[in-house]
């Protein structure tokens, strides 16, 4: 039986907004406001990289907990925990007096992203017919771009007032949490739609087809980290552009990333492997382009647009890939690739910081771009039309 448009919107829209708050504000806004934070609390690039990795580390811990808690508590409670973590974490960032206090706050805020993703995938699998799940999941995932664009717009108005910006983000997170409490379904029963498509050989966590996904997601996470953490530093300190231009980068990145909402349809047409490789090339081009021409605003904005599209498309691709591998356990299917993206970022952030301090921005970004190219060697095994049953299932 089909869902009505209004009931589908009741799931997708709050999920998209929660994703925007947790990913776009609580996690990725750190790189946007990093220059101002360094001036206020005092940080070397290495310390900034270590603090940046704290957000990803918090994500790793939280997503493991979330994958397990969703199957025990249901998606609604875990999604509300994500909203609370984002609210508290960003409030702590706003009042952090030192690098170490900031590191704890960034880690705590980063936990919200790990808590958010599995329950959203689970509620989609419970409530949305199979034919619409890939589109719903990639639309929700594109909420990251909404948050990134919003954080950039706020920074344009309050360029150096990062504490005030994070207080505003905290208010947004609290409001989103209240909205979720009112709108998210309370159902905790079995998954009535994903059971239709279950074709996995067993219900265990380890599956052979998960290994290429682990490699791909980890490589992409690592390759993207230099940009997320140090793009602002590069255009200001190396390129000589004004700090207001960092905000423009984030706005462009977020708006371009909204194209990631079309990832489900693109994957259905081209397949996981083709989309995975195509947008890794785009990720590498964005990273290398910024390092080669950091003083050109046009190049920097073009690089940001490429990065936004590539990152969101790749995140959506790995989401669909994971849910296909774990078709009977959608929270695990989403959680695993997002966990491995974060593992790559946990490793990549301090490596990028150390390279920025010991070599140059150009060398650092070129090295990270090369990782994106190397990750293209990974392919989705045994891809077939059966992986995209939304076209075969009756409406």
**Domain assignment of residue 202, yes or no:** no
35 lies in a domain? yes
Checking if the pLDDT of 42 tops 70, the result is: yes
Contact indicator for 217, 117 with CB cutoff of 8 Å: no
Average pLDDT over residues 267-285: 91
User: Does residue 329 contact residue 121 with C-beta atoms inside 8 Å?
Assistant: no
CA distances from 207 to 37, 192, 194, 201 (A): 43, 23, 18, 8
Count how many domains the chain has: 1
Q: Is the dihedral of CA 123, 126, 129, 134 positive or negative?
A: positive
Of 100 and 137, which is predicted with more confidence?
Answer: 100
Least confident of 66-75, 162-171, 222-231: 66-75
Q: What is the rounded radius of gyration, in angstroms, for the C-alpha atoms of the chain?
A: 19
Q: What is the CATH number of the domain that holds 245?
A: 1.20.1250.20
Arithmetic mean of pLDDT, 287-316? 92
Mean pLDDT of the chain, nearest integer: 83
Overall average pLDDT of the 249-255 stretch: 88
Using 50, 70 and 90 to split pLDDT, how confident is the model at 7? Answer: low
- Is residue 105 within 8 A of residue 92, CB to CB? The reply is yes
DSSP 16-74: HHHHIIIIIIIITHHHHHHHHHHHHH---HHHHHHHHHHHHHHHHHHHHHHHHHHHHH-
**pLDDT (0 to 100) of residue 258:** 84
Most confident by average pLDDT, 86-95, 151-160, 243-252:
86-95
Q: Would you state the pLDDT for residue 155? A: 82
Tokens representing 319?
Answer: 């989401």
Percentage of the chain modeled with pLDDT above 70:
89
Which stretches within 128-243 are classed as H helix? 133-141, 143-157, 162-183, 194-197, 210-233
Please report whether residue 70 resides in a domain.
yes
pTM value is 0.78
Would you state the pLDDT for residue 364?
94
Residue 374 lies in a domain: yes
Per-residue pLDDT at 205: 66
More confident residue, 92 or 74: 92
pLDDT band per the 50, 70, 90 thresholds, residue 387: low
Of the listed ranges 87-91, 239-243, 269-273, 338-342, the least confidently predicted one is 239-243
Nearest to 13 by CA among 125, 139, 135, 122: 139
Q: Over 90: is that where the pLDDT of 87 sits?
A: yes
Residue 262 CB-density burial (10 A; 0-12 exposed, 13-18 middle, 19+ buried): middle
Domain that holds residue 28: 8-183+207-382
What's the CA gap between 366 and 346, in Å, rounded? 19
Is the pLDDT at 280 greater than 50? The verdict is yes
Give ∠ CA 77-254-175 in degrees, rounded to 5: 35
How does residue 257 score in pLDDT terms, banded at 50, 70 and 90? Answer: confident
Intra-chain end-to-end CA distance of the chain, in Å: 7
pLDDT of residue 208: 76
> Per the domain annotation, does 390 fall within a domain?
no
Considering the domain boundaries, does residue 1 fall inside one? no
- pLDDT (0 to 100) of residue 382: 59
Closest CA relative to residue 148, chosen from 31, 290, 11, 316: 31
Is position 311 within any domain?
A: yes
DSSP, collapsed to helix, strand or coil, labels residue 158 as coil
Q: What is the mean pLDDT of residues 323-348?
A: 84
Domain assignment present for 372: yes
Mean pLDDT on 263-277: 84
Measured distance CA(275)–CA(102) in Å, rounded: 37
Residue pLDDT, tens place only, 160-216: 788 999 999 999 999 999 988 888 777 654 444 444 444 444 456 677 788 999 999
Phi-psi region of 124 (alpha: psi -120 to 50; beta: other; left: phi over 0): alpha
């Amino acid at each position: 039986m089909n869902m009505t448009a209004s009931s589908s919107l009741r799931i997708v829209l709050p999920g998209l907004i929660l994703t925007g708050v947790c990913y776009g504000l609580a996690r990725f806004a750190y790189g946007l406001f990093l220059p101002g934070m360094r001036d206020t609390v005092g940080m070397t690039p290495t310390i900034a990289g270590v603090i940046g990795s704290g957000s990803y580390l918090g994500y790793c811990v939280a997503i493991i907990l979330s994958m397990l808690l969703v199957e025990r508590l249901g998606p609604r409670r875990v999604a509300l925990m994500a909203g609370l973590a984002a609210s508290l974490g960003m409030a702590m960032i706003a009042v952090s007096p030192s690098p170490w206090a900031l590191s704890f706050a960034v880690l705590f805020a980063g936990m919200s992203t790990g808590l958010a993703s599995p329950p959203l995938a689970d509620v989609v699998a419970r409530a949305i017919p199979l034919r619409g799940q890939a589109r719903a999941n990639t639309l929700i995932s594109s909420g990251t771009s909404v948050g990134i664009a919003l954080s950039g717009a706020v920074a344009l108005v309050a360029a150096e007032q990062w504490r005030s910006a994070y207080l505003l983000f905290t208010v947004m997170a609290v409001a989103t949490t209240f909205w979720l409490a009112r709108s998210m379904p309370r159902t905790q029963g079995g998954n009535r739609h994903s059971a239709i498509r279950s074709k996995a050989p067993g219900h265990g966590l380890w599956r052979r087809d998960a290994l290429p996904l682990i490699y791909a997601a980890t490589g992409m996470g690592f390759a993207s980290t230099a940009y997320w953490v140090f793009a602002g530093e590069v255009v200001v300190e190396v390129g000589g552009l004004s700090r207001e231009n960092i905000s423009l980068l984030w706005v462009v990145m977020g708006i371009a990333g909204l194209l990631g909402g079309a990832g489900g349809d693109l994957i259905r047409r081209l397949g996981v492997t083709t989309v995975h490789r195509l947008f890794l090339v785009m990720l590498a081009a964005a990273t290398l382009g910024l390092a080669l021409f950091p003083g050109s605003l046009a190049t920097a904005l073009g690089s940001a647009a490429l990065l936004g599209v590539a990152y969101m498309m790749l995140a959506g691709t790995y989401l669909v890939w994971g849910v296909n591998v774990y078709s009977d356990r959608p929270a695990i299917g989403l959680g695993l690739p997002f966990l491995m993206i974060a593992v790559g970022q946990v490793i990549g952030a301090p490596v990028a910081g150390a390279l920025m301090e010991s070599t140059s921005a150009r060398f650092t970004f070129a090295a990270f771009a090369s990782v994106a190219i190397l990750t293209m060697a990974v392919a989705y095994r045994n891809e077939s039309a059966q992986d995209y049953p939304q076209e075969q299932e009756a409406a």
